[in-house]
Amino acid sequence: MTLAGLAAAVAHTSWPAAPAEVRDRVVDLVADCVAVAALGSTRAELRRLVEVHDRLTPTGPASVLGSPRGWPPMTAMLLNATAMAADQLQDGHRMARGHPASHVVPAVLALAEQVNADGTELLSAVLAGYEAGVRVGRAMGGTPTGVHDIGTWGQVAVGAATARLLAPGDEGAAERALDLCGSAVLLTDAHTVFAGHDGSHTFLGSSVQTGAGQGVAAVAGLAAAPGALARHLAAVGASRWDPAPLSVPGAWETYEVLGGYVKVHASCAHLHGVNDAVADLVTRGVSGRDVTSVRVHAFAGAAGFDAVADSELAARFSVPTTVAVGLLDGRLDESTVTEERVRSTEVRDLASRVEVLHDPALDAGYPAGRPARVTVLLRDGATVAATAERPRGDADRALSRGELRAKASRLLTGCLGEVGLAVLQAVHGLATGLPVATLGQTIRSAAGGAS
């Protein structure tokens, strides 16, 4: 099939011309990505990674969350994307089964600083990459067993966004970027991600770098064999290839960005139905200290995460541990999913009393939702249950702009202090044409103040 229509839509994407709700959503996604990367940048393993790159890399015009110096754009996008993946708070798109903005924003932010773009051009590129990438993800229908989605269609999204930023209106460059990125995808190890190993953070950073590199090559005129995206992804990266989502009539008639999600819980998205049900139980007055046992019924994609975690990273992929933390602490965020808390006797004891069952009847509810049923037995002999379908923060249950701003403010001020609010203000200033370099200067100044 030809990608001409999809490429034309990418090349001519205009954030200012998009509907108001789309424009707002793109700005809020950029803010969420920046805030999540700021949180990730405070982790010990990310600090070590930055220190190594600091010894290896000259200065440049691009900014890294948590760092007061300037970086070459390819290094900046690597570090920001790696930080973005670390705490399982990144955005996603359930129907495409991946994380579009988390791939696109680090690349576009770094390159836009390099070329001194204004905010509306950055936002147009983010929108172009998001829309193209999600359609490729939907065409893939998931990834083969053992392959994580990071580095597959998200990498294609990065290439599309890069072409839109560096060669606006160039349909040929956009089509070359789609095919080149589709023919050079990563096939990242799902077990490394789901078992909570910190090397998995780099999968996102590496795929963003590769996608941007292929996008730059496409702008320079380099090309893959015609049809490479469909041929190669269908063969190595797709679970059930269906090219229908790639049929775009040269412009976006609908916007996939309105169907994505922003995370409420600091956990793998497959667990969010379970985590929502627990949050509902807490709202109804259930406390983990009154619980004798918990039974969780989940769809297959969530039921496999049934092991009690022995580390903070593994906890983000553990139904028993996230249930225990949620019931005991009343929330599941960056303040509660910590190494000390996950390893505490109280959490491990309750987690050991959480039974996770695969309920085949719930499988039909995915990917439309992430269905779950959580039943707790209390010490007084009573039972209380809660169910969940589509998680909070997803598609028609999207967070309000106020809630999104509150999340970004919480993360940025938690990492950077009150100067984090200046970063958030600068992100929102992109919508009025603020130069991206000004946002970068604010990020570096905030890091210097925080240090």
List the one residue out of 20, 19, 23 whose CA is nearest residue 430: 23
CA gap 17, 66 in Å, rounded: 33
How many residues in the chain? Answer: 451
- Can you give the pLDDT at residue 1? 67
pLDDT attached to residue 448: 85
Query: Residue 218: its pLDDT value, please?
Result: 98
Rounded to an integer, what distance in angstroms lies between the CA atom of residue 449 and that of residue 441?
12
Cα 412 to Cα 300: distance, rounded to the nearest angstrom: 35
Count of beta carbons in the 10 Å neighbourhood of residue 145: 7
Nearest 10 degrees: Cα torsion 324, 93, 406, 125: 150
Residue-level pLDDT at 450: 55
SS in 3 state form for 208-277?
HHHHHHHHHHHHCCCCCCCCHHHHHHHHHHCCCCCCHHHCCCCCCCCCHHHHCECCCCCCCHHHHHHHHH
Weakly modelled stretches of the chain, pLDDT under 70: 1, 449-451
Closest among 19, 52, 35 to 446, alpha carbons compared: 35
What span, in angstroms and rounded, lies between the C-alpha atoms of 437 and 441? 6
Cα separation, 158 vs 137, in Å, equals: 13
Nearest to 237 by CA among 108, 150, 327, 306: 150
pLDDT at 120: 98
**Among candidate residues 9, 42, 162, 20, the one with its CA nearest the CA of residue 420:** 42
Q: Is the peptide bond before 249 cis (omega within 30 degrees of 0)?
A: no
pTM for this structure? 0.97
For 179-216, the pLDDT digits (tens) are 999 999 999 999 999 999 999 999 999 999 999 999 99
Q: What is the pLDDT of residue 449?
A: 66
45 vs 53: CA distance, rounded Å: 13
Q: Which domains does the chain show, CATH number per domain?
A: 4-262+399-450 (1.10.4100.10), 269-388 (3.30.1330.120)
pLDDT tens, 274-288?
A: 999 999 999 999 999
Distance (Å, whole) CA 228 – CA 341: 47
Tokens, residue 263:
């995370």
Tokens of 45: 């393993």
Q: How far is CA 335 from CA 213, 289, 326, 415, in A?
A: 36, 19, 11, 12
